[in-house]
Amino acid sequence: MSDAPRPDPDALLVAIQREEAQKRRGKLKVFFGMAAGVGKTYAMLQAAQAEKAAGRDVIIGYVEGHGRKETDRLTVGLPLVPRRRVEHRGLPLEELDLDAVLARRPQLALVDELAHTNAPGSRHPKRYQDVLELLDAGIDVYSTLNVQHVESRADTVREITGSTVQETVPDRVLDAAQIELVDLPPNELLRRLDEGKVYLPERAAVAMVNFFREGNLTALREMALRLAAEKVGQQVRDYLQVMQIERPWKSGHRLLVAVSPSPWAGAMVRWTRRLADSLDSPWLAVYVETARPLTEGDQTRLTQHLSLARELGAEVITTTDENVVRGLLRLARQHHVTQIVVGKPAGGWFHRWFRAGAFFRRLMRESGDVDLHVVRAEKLGDAGARRAAWRPWLDSGWRQYALALGAVSAVTLASGLLNPWVGYRTVALNLLLAVVVLALFVGRGPIFLAATLSALLWNFFFLPPVFTFYIKSLEDAMMFGMYFIIALVLGQLVARIRAQERAERRREERTTALYLLTRELADAVGVEDIARNVVRHVGQVFGAQVGLLLADGGGNLPLQAEPASTLTLSEKERSVAAWVFANGQAAGPSTDNLPMAECLHLPLATSGGPVGVLSLHFQRSTRMTLDQRNLLESFARQTALVVDRQRLSEATQRTQLVAESERLSKALLNSISHELRTPIAAITSAVSGLSAPPAERSLNLHQALVEEITQAAQRLNRVVGNLLDMTRLESGHVTPRLEWCEVSDLVNVSLQHVNRELASHPVTTDVAPGLPLVQMDFRLMEQVLVNLLLNAAVHTPPGTPVRVGARRERDLLVLALADRGPGLPAEALSQIFDKFYRAPGAPAGGTGLGLSIVKGFVEAQGGRVEAGNLPEGGAVFRVVLPIGEAPPVPAEAEP
């Protein structure tokens, strides 16, 4: 990214986000020193007293005064939250009572010794994790730390002092902290040690005295000073970026460290972190997965290295590639990496020359303008780590060795029986065949054994002179040599192909599992269905009982898992799940949080916050491999996404429903109030006209007023009738009484009803002769035709004709009502039968219910209704009813 525009917007964003996050979170201040005894606790208490005097609510969460009077005096006046007492292997231990502090909610809590390891059974293994939770809760924390406990400095400290530091604090914890350096010249510290003013635990006294040598202390002091200075430097840079202060921008370095399962990779990760710190650059830790299968030990180490990198602040990426160099460089390009850190090869000259050599040559050739750091990883490693180096013959179980031995022996024996007929050269091919076939079933170690053994057996039993390892002719010696090499190479090749295949298959299985889950989730309808699928799937793939807790709409975790769950959570596990939900971090075995829990709990996190918790209880207590863990996390992510999507779509539907019902009720109020009030207004005004003395009104006026009242009353009656019909339809109370009816009778009766309304329209009827009886509810169909006729009366100009037709189309009766009015607008066709729909430009009048009643009534009788326009102009409505088989009528002779 050396040519990136400056100031780098990403960096600015990060700085601003960091600032914002800190506004909400509590602030951590670390009193930082080179060694025990420099007075960190004392300085912390002094600062706390000052805060207290300034009126802040300060409490002591955990302060270890070691019985020193000066220190104890400073604790006076600061409220103490009682420590939590735990017993471990008969030893009474005291720990910070995290829950009590959280419940007390002070503004500032003092928690001594940030690097402390908690007693087993605590919520977090490490105290700094307790502190992080306090910060998350918005509580400021003062703590103390020595330089040798800083993760990225641990190796250097070991180099300086020769003692390994067990308790370390990840650098990312310090990244967000304010560092207060407590400094003391080494000779001063030694004087205090001499005076007995430095507390040393009994057990470690001797080792610690070794530690307190002036040379060591000077080196440690320099480290502490440097770290504090770097910290300040970074804060200044953050400030400059936020304040947009011009300054020469440092070239944007980006580091990449290649992580492998090798025992030395951890040291490389720490080394890279230190380099990244001094360059102030982001860094990636990358693992390239190849076809080579990993042993369980490799897996464990790899997981450790990657989580170490994550803790030290790296972005961790795992990718798959057949070639490690290609994979590394691909990621490096994608992420604009400027420098790559790889380990210097360990192992014998053979390995260094052939395998590592090829690796470096290719890396150097193809890395282009990316700088390479080759780190001498071996020296950085732990002393004991080398013992755990990669040994292929440990991959395979003893069964495979037994199989290899047995197979070679059996083929040798069989060849021995055949020997009189086939000769020793054929025997060699037999044995070769056995080795190759064997390679299909066993690992590389057993194949190596089989190849060697078969070569020796062949030599001993078959190569003349037999029963010696001596070979007489040069030809035979060459053959023996070639046999040995061919068996070895062929066996190894087949075994490797098989291993690749297996790795491929495992990846395939993983992809398939994820694909299947995704597909089933895509088909799932509703949260219950999703839960059922997730529980079944995760349970199958991981051999575990699965519980799914999904938050309700208010973001609260329910007390019980989804009904589909196969796992019932105990009270304790439920509280772990609640913690996971609140903190968005996994908890349980093989995690950093609450490792003593029985079940593994994963948060179902989405960008909008957590939607629930996935809990697994493994039937066998096995450590999860990296693969499995990745897969499980993918499952959790997928589940979270789907649940989130489901919740969203439900919410959208609810909103739509509410909007729809609001729209309907508004339409109802508008339409009904208009439709009811208009005739009432007409009646009222006509009646007031009638109530004038008879002398003042003519007979004509009288008749006109009476006619108005009559029409208004009929209109009112129709509106009420429509409303009643609609109510019947809505409440599902329309149960048609189907009877065999005569169509012409129906048409006639319906027309009688509306002859007044259709007085100004010439009506023609066209009922096909010979129509059979049709099964229908006469009254409902009458209402249907009346509504359609009234609709035509309202929507067509006076004088235009209306035609009612009835004919048979196969086994259907088609009633058609056609007018010669303006026709229906195209956009109205799809909605015209909807409740309260008024076609655009329609004249006033009508409730908007008539046609929806038509549709409801016709459909209740098993028919359908259509609307359309005629080619010659005008609208046409068609009602289609099934005719059915009319029952027989007793015949009677005509007289």
Partner 1 sequence: MKEKAQGPPVALVIDDELQIRRLLRLTLEANGYRVVEAGTGPEGLVQAAQSRPEVIILDLGLPGLDGLTVLRRLREWSRVPVIVLSVREREEDKVAALDSGADDYVTKPFSTAELLARLRVAQRHAQPLPEEVVVRSGELEVDLANRVVRKGGQEVKLTGTEYALLRLLTRNAGKVMTHHQLLREVWGPANLEHTHYLRVYMAHLREKLEENPAQPELLVTEPGVGYRFVWKGP
Q: Which residues bind partner 1 (CB under 8 A)?
A: 713, 717, 737, 739-742, 744-745, 747-749, 765, 767, 773, 777-779, 782, 886-887, 889-890, 892-895
> By C-beta, is 650 or 739 nearer to partner 1?
739
| Closest distance to partner 1 from the beta carbon of 767 (Å) | 7
> By C-beta, is 742 or 859 nearer to partner 1?
742
CA gap 452, 467 in Å, rounded: 17
| Closest distance to partner 1 from the beta carbon of 875 (Å) | 24
Q: Which residues contact 519 (CB under 8 A, 6 or more apart)?
A: none
> By C-beta, is 129 or 787 nearer to partner 1?
787
| Closest distance to partner 1 from the beta carbon of 751 (Å) | 8
| Closest distance to partner 1 from the beta carbon of 750 (Å) | 9
Which CA distances in Å does 22 have to 99, 144, 243? Answer: 22, 20, 17
Q: Mind spelling out the 3-state secondary structure of 443-498?
A: CHHHHHHHHHHHHHHHHHHCCCCCCCCCCCCHHHHHHHHHHHHHHHHHHHHHHHHH
CA gap 34, 338 in Å, rounded: 33
Copy the structure tokens of residue 385: 């780590």
> By C-beta, is 433 or 886 nearer to partner 1?
886
> By C-beta, is 530 or 883 nearer to partner 1?
883
Task: Report the Cα–Cα distance between both ends of the chain, in Å, rounded.
Answer: 110
Q: By the 8 A CB rule, do 789 and 801 touch? A: no
> By C-beta, is 137 or 741 nearer to partner 1?
741
> By C-beta, is 826 or 889 nearer to partner 1?
889
CA gap 547, 563 in Å, rounded: 9
Q: Which residues contact 417 (CB under 8 A, 6 or more apart)?
A: none
| Closest distance to partner 1 from the beta carbon of 687 (Å) | 14
| Closest distance to partner 1 from the beta carbon of 615 (Å) | 60
| Closest distance to partner 1 from the beta carbon of 766 (Å) | 10
Q: Which of 401, 335, 411, 416 is nearest to 370 (CA)?
A: 335
Q: Which residues contact 207 (CB under 8 A, 6 or more apart)?
A: 163
Q: 785: how many CB neighbours lie within 10 A of its CB?
A: 22
> By C-beta, is 618 or 740 nearer to partner 1?
740
CA 353 vs. chain centroid, Å, equals: 45
DSSP conformational letter for 119? P
CA gap 852, 843 in Å, rounded: 18
CA gap 160, 219 in Å, rounded: 7
| Closest distance to partner 1 from the beta carbon of 651 (Å) | 43
> By C-beta, is 323 or 744 nearer to partner 1?
744
Q: By the 8 A CB rule, do 134 and 102 touch? A: yes
| Closest distance to partner 1 from the beta carbon of 860 (Å) | 15
Tell me the pairing of strands 283-289 and 84-88: unpaired
- What one-letter code names the amino acid at 447? I
| Closest distance to partner 1 from the beta carbon of 668 (Å) | 22
| Closest distance to partner 1 from the beta carbon of 689 (Å) | 20
Copy the structure tokens of residue 263: 């025992």
- What one-letter code names the amino acid at 31? F
> By C-beta, is 447 or 767 nearer to partner 1?
767
> By C-beta, is 493 or 886 nearer to partner 1?
886
Q: Which helix (H) or strand (E) segment is 505 a member of?
A: helix 474-523
> By C-beta, is 471 or 749 nearer to partner 1?
749
| Closest distance to partner 1 from the beta carbon of 866 (Å) | 25
Copy the structure tokens of residue 812: 């259907």
> By C-beta, is 687 or 713 nearer to partner 1?
713
- Say if residue 818 is exposed, middle or buried (CB neighbours under 10 Å; 0-12, 13-18, 19+): buried
Q: By the 8 A CB rule, do 273 and 255 touch? A: no
CA gap 433, 411 in Å, rounded: 10
| Closest distance to partner 1 from the beta carbon of 831 (Å) | 30
Q: Mind spelling out the 3-state secondary structure of 150-208?
A: EHHHHHHHHHHHCCCCCCCECHHHHHCCEEEECCCCHHHHHHHHHCCCCCCCCCCHHHH
Q: By the 8 A CB rule, do 798 and 761 touch? A: yes
CA gap 365, 8 in Å, rounded: 31
> By C-beta, is 150 or 767 nearer to partner 1?
767
| Closest distance to partner 1 from the beta carbon of 780 (Å) | 9
